[in-house]
Amino acid sequence: MGNVVGIDLGTTNSIIAALEDGQPWVIPDDDGVLLLPSCVGMDDSGQLLVGQSAWRQYAAAPERTVKSIKRQMGTDHTVTLGDRTYRPQEISAIILRSLKQRAEAILEDEVTQAVITVPAYFTDSQRQATKEAGEIAGFEVLQILNEPTAAALVFDLDSEDSENVLVYDLGGGTFDVSIVEITGSVTEVLASHGNNRLGGDDFDRQLQRNLADRFLQIHGTEVPNDAATQARLLQAAEQAKIALSEHGFTTVREPFLASKGETALHLEIDIAREDFENLIKPLLKETLEAIDRALNDADMTADDINRAILVGGSTRIPLVQHLVENHLPDTPVSSFEPDLCVGMGAALQAGVLSGEAVDSILVDVSPYSLGIAAVMDTPMGPVSGMFSTIIPRNSVIPISRSQIYHTASNDQEIVEVEVFQGENPIAKENVPLGSFRIEGIPPKPAGAVPVEVHFDFDINGILTVTATEKGKGQQQSLVVNDTKTGRLSSHELHQSRDAIASLFNALPLLEAENEAWNDVDVTPGEEE
Ligand code: AMP
């Protein structure tokens, strides 16, 4: 038994997995349930609720319940619970800490090191926030690992020939598609593409709107727009969506949803799978376009793909499977524990990093280009604000690259280094990552002072930028990460860590998780 774990910190559900004899297995809760809803709340007496208990109170008390916080990671957004406001990384830390407790109880050992997964398309600040969440929860974060890469690690291919695998990952809040080459035990990501704002939550909202429209048609009255009623409707929509993965029809029943005069109005609506499919088809079309783009980036066609793997809870929707199969007509499409394999892959990678005997090596890539705004020569003459790429998309990470730039005007004293990620030739059309200045450049003619810009993109997909003014042989440098949105200082990190730890210490509810583990019969990869 090791004290390293892999964690899939999902938009909707999270899991924690450990290794036993080199094999990953998912650690369940008291009731043998493997998935922890990524939901945090406070009950009316101010007690912290995590997971299922928070999820259950959502419809009754949405103002005291936080879900899908993953969508806010890396932003300045805050949420209030009880008498305190929380940053997204603190809410995520509560989920991680709850998973940590779960693992420590069953492993009967402290769990200190973790690999945590993120969508391949997460930006630098979203990755940083995830790493901070891990640290606040009391982990040493060994690596922030791309989810599709983690999933591919679980597929143990016997063939010694290399295979090209397409990983299609559609979860609650994000979508990724990656082309991965697996040769024996080496996994190399060749290309990755996606949308970090597309997933099952969007399908729920489409269905919620549809139910509200049909309620209006039937009763001539709008569904009340208060948070509690809308939360009930959203939960009903998600349940209907899940039922439609199994059945051709389902009935949504929500009694006393509204009233008209003295009369209570109930929602009772039949939905056919086909109606639901028509609602989500446009969103799914986007995912097929992303497949083509990833193939294109990997210089491949569908014929080059040996198999496709479906990952993420939303791939249980039959239409998703059909569309992917039709899009890749000659490729076998398979799925293995779509909710669990990302966490299991993270555990494998944690084993590799901590020196356990695990039979896999991972080569990962940067899913986007990184560079700075610069004046560039064009057929129309020099144009400022162009995007100069320093690390091209799909470079194998970790990677360090330097590029020399020159001052653009006579006697230029200041160089502003603005860092972006993206693919647009116009710098400002890409995602800004931060900026800093080098001042006190000696007065010289335009082009006479060279400035070296150095990018370090580490194994976590986190970027550090250094700029050095070479003119006088002296070095001036700054780290771009220090200036970014949504980040916590190390003092704030410590404060958060203490605050979250004390929330847990005051929590009899979670301590109950420590009991009776010996009675649970758990085998590697067991499902709920
Ligand atoms: P994940 O982020 O991989 O945990 O996926 C969570 C998403 O999968 C949520 O939007 C769930 O509603 C959705 N989901 C889980 N099970 C099913 C199912 N059987 N059919 C359709 N969607 C599902």
| Probe residue for ligand 1, chosen from 203, 242, 309, 320 as the CB with the greatest number of ligand atoms within 8 Å | 242
Q: Do the first three CATH levels of 1-147+340-355+489-528 and 200-278 match, i.e. the same topology?
A: no
Task: Give the CATH H-level superfamily of domain 200-278.
Answer: ATPase, substrate binding domain, subdomain 4 (3.90.640.10)
Instruction: Please tell me if the CB atom of residue 461 comes closer than 6 angstroms to any atom of ligand 1.
Output: no
Question: Is 1-147+340-355+489-528 in CATH node 1.10.3720.10?
Answer: no
Residue 189 has what pLDDT?
77
Q: Distance from the CA of 170 to the center of ligand 1, in angstroms?
A: 8
Atom of ligand 1 nearest to the CA of 170: 3
| pLDDT at residue 320 is higher than 90 | yes
Q: Where are the beta strands (DSSP E) in 369-505?
A: 370-378, 381-391, 396-397, 399-406, 415-421, 431-438, 450-457, 463-469
Band (pLDDT 50/70/90 cuts) for residue 477 is low
Q: Are strands 370-378 and 399-406 parallel, antiparallel or unpaired?
A: unpaired
The 10s digit of each residue's pLDDT in 83-116 is 889 999 999 999 999 999 999 999 999 999 999 9
In this structure, what token pair is assigned to residue 208? 């919620």
What mean pLDDT value characterizes the chain?
Answer: 85
DSSP 8-state assignment for residue 170: E
- Ligand 1 atom with minimal separation from the 339 CA: 3
CB of 343 sitting under 6 A from ligand 1: no
Residue nearest to atom 1 of ligand 1 (CA): 171
Per-residue pLDDT tens digits for 269-318: 999 999 999 999 999 999 999 999 999 989 999 999 998 999 999 999 99
Quick check: CB of 57 below 6 Å from ligand 1? no
- Reported as a single tens digit per residue, the pLDDT across 21-38 is 888 999 999 889 999 999
* Under 8 Å between Cβ of 182 and 162: yes
Of 169, 181, 188, 364, which one is the catalytic site residue?
169
Asked, as a colleague might, if the bond just before 24 is cis with ω within 30 of 0, I would say no
**Kind and range of the H or E run holding 349:** helix 341-353
Q: Is 285 a catalytic residue?
A: no
**Catalytic residue check, 330:** no
Annotation says 456 is catalytic: no
Give yes or no for residue 201 CB within 6 A of ligand 1.
Answer: yes
User: pTM of the predicted model, to two decimals?
Assistant: 0.73
Instruction: Name the least confident of 159-163, 428-432, 477-481.
Output: 477-481
Predicted local confidence at residue 357, as pLDDT: 59
More confident site: 397 or 250: 250
The domain limits of the chain are: 1-147+340-355+489-528, 200-278, 370-482
How does pLDDT run across 227-273, given as a tens digit for each residue?
A: 899 999 999 999 999 999 999 999 999 999 998 888 999 999 999 99
Q: Please tell me the predicted confidence (pLDDT) of residue 160.
A: 64
CB-count burial class (<10 Å; 0-12, 13-18, 19+) for 270: exposed
> Ligand 1 mean position to 317 CA, how many Å?
8
pLDDT at position 416: 87
User: What CATH number was assigned to the domain covering residues 370-482?
Assistant: 2.60.34.10
**In the predicted structure, residue 509 carries a pLDDT above the cut 50:** no
Q: Is the pLDDT of residue 166 over 90?
A: yes
67 CB near ligand 1 (under 6 Å): no
Three-state secondary structure call for residue 402: strand
Q: What is the pLDDT of residues 134-151, one digit of tens each?
A: 999 999 999 999 888 888
With a cut of 60, say whether residue 484 has pLDDT above it.
Answer: no
What does the pLDDT read at residue 462? Answer: 78
